[in-house]
Amino acid sequence: MAVTTFSFLAFFTTLLLSSPVISTVHFNYPAIFNFGDSNSDTGCVIAAGIGGLLDPPYGQTYFHEPSGRFSDGRLIIDFLSHAMDKRFLNAYLESVGVPNFRRGANFAAAGSTILPPTQYAFCPFSFGNQVAQFFSFKARVLQLLGGKLDKFVPREDYFRKGLYTFDIGQNDLAGAFYSKTEDQVIASIPTILQEFENGTKKLYDQGARNFWIHNTGPLGCLPQNLFVFGKEKSDKHGCLRPHNHAARVFNLQLLALCRKLQHEFADARITYVDIFSIKFDLISNFSRYGFEHPTTACCGYGGPPLNYDSRISCGQTKVLNGTTVTAKGCDDFTKYVSWDGIHYTEAANHHVWSQIPTGKYSYPLFSEKI
C-alpha cells in the first residue's frame, strides 16, 4: 500500500514540476469568491465574535493593527487580490463600516473544516456552511441589483466569470491526529473529500466555472504540532513524518478529484495548486530564500527551538506556573516562516504567492483557458 501511494505521489509530483514555466499570469477575473480556513480568513471569525479579538502584534507589518487576519500582515489571498487589481476581500460576515463586495466576498473562517462541525469544533463555519452562505449572498445580491447599492455588489455575470478559490482541509487532518492514529487519519480522507466534492458540485450548479484549489501544506512542520506531538518521528528537516505523510496522501487524492471534476465539468476550468511543495521547499531550503527560522514561531512564548506554548497565544499575557508572561513578537518578522506556530508570516506568504504565478506548481497551468 505504501509503495503504491508513494509511486503515485512521485508520478504526480513529476507531472506538476515538468509543466513548462511561465513568466507572468494575468488574472483576468472580475471577482473572487473564496472558501477556506484561517490561511485565507480576512476577518470572518473576528466579525462573528468567535474566540475573542486578535491582539497586537497581529497585523503589525502591513495594516499596523490587527486586521482579522491570523498573521502579522497579508495572506496569499491578499496578494492574489492585488494581482487582480482588486481591493482586499471583505469577510462575508463583516458588518462594520461599509463592506464593498463589488469584486467578490470571502467566506473563509479560521478553524473551519471540510467536514460538518462537531460539538468540539472551534468554528461552526464548515465548508458546507460556507457554500450555504454563498447561496444566501448570491440570492441577496440578485435582489439588490438595479438599485442604489449596485456599486457595492457584484454584477450578475460576475458569478459565472469570477474565480472561486479554495484553501481548506488542514484542520480536518490536524484535528484528527488528536484522537486518531496515522492510519485512521488517512482512512478518513475519502470521506473528507466526498464532502468537498459535494460542495464544489453545488457551486458548479450555481454557475461557478473557474475553480482554483489549493492543496494542504506540510502540517508536520508547524510549531504547534511539533509542540504537541514531539519530535520522535521527525525527519531531517525537523518535521513530523506522520502529519506530512497524511497531508501528502490527502493532496494526492485531492488532485485525483480535481482531474475527475474537470472531466465531469467540461465547460469549467479547475486548477490544482501544489501549495505543499512550495511551503516544504521553503522550510527545507529556508536560508536560500533569506529566512533564518523555519520551524520557530515568531510570535509566541517558550524560546528556542519552537517558541510555542499551547497555553498562551500570540499577543496574550497570562500567568503560567505563577509567573506573568507575554507571548511577544520576534525582532525581525521577515526572518521567520511561522508567525504564531500555526500560520505563516507575511514574508512567508509573499514567498509562497511569488511561486504560484510561475505555473510550476499548478496543474493544469493557471494561465490556460478552456
Map out the domains of the chain as residue ranges.
2-296
Are residues 128 and 198 in contact, defined by beta-carbon separation less than 8 angstroms? Answer: yes
pTM of the model: 0.92
Please tell me the number of Cα atoms within 13 Å of 145 on its side-chain side.
Answer: 13
Residues 223-248 as b/e (b if ≥16 CB within 10 A, e otherwise) read bbbbbebeeeebeebbbbebbbbbbb
The CATH number for 2-296, chosen from 3.40.50, 2.40.50, 1.20.1510, 1.10.3470, is 3.40.50
Residues 61-82 as b/e (b if ≥16 CB within 10 A, e otherwise) read bebeebbbbbbbbbbbbbbbbe
Q: Nearest 10 degrees: CA dihedral of 54, 42, 214, 219?
A: 0
The one catalytic residue in 37, 38, 234, 293 is 38
The one catalytic residue in 112, 343, 351, 362 is 343
In this structure, what DSSP letter does residue 286 have?
Answer: G
The one-digit pLDDT tens for each residue of the chain (370 residues) are 444 444 445 444 444 444 444 445 567 899 999 999 999 999 999 999 887 789 999 999 999 999 999 999 999 999 999 998 888 999 999 877 667 899 999 999 999 999 998 866 779 999 999 999 999 999 999 999 998 888 899 999 999 999 999 999 999 999 999 999 999 999 999 999 999 999 999 999 999 999 999 999 999 999 999 999 987 788 999 999 999 999 999 999 999 999 999 999 999 999 999 999 999 999 999 999 999 999 999 999 999 999 999 999 999 999 999 999 999 999 999 999 999 999 999 999 999 999 999 989 999 865 444 3
Q: How far is CA 284 from CA 248, 281, 289, 348, 355, in A?
A: 16, 5, 10, 13, 15
Are residues 180 and 172 in contact, defined by beta-carbon separation less than 8 angstroms? Answer: no
Place of cell 501549495: 275
The one catalytic residue in 167, 274, 309, 340 is 340
Note if 293 is an active site residue.
no
Note if 340 is an active site residue.
yes
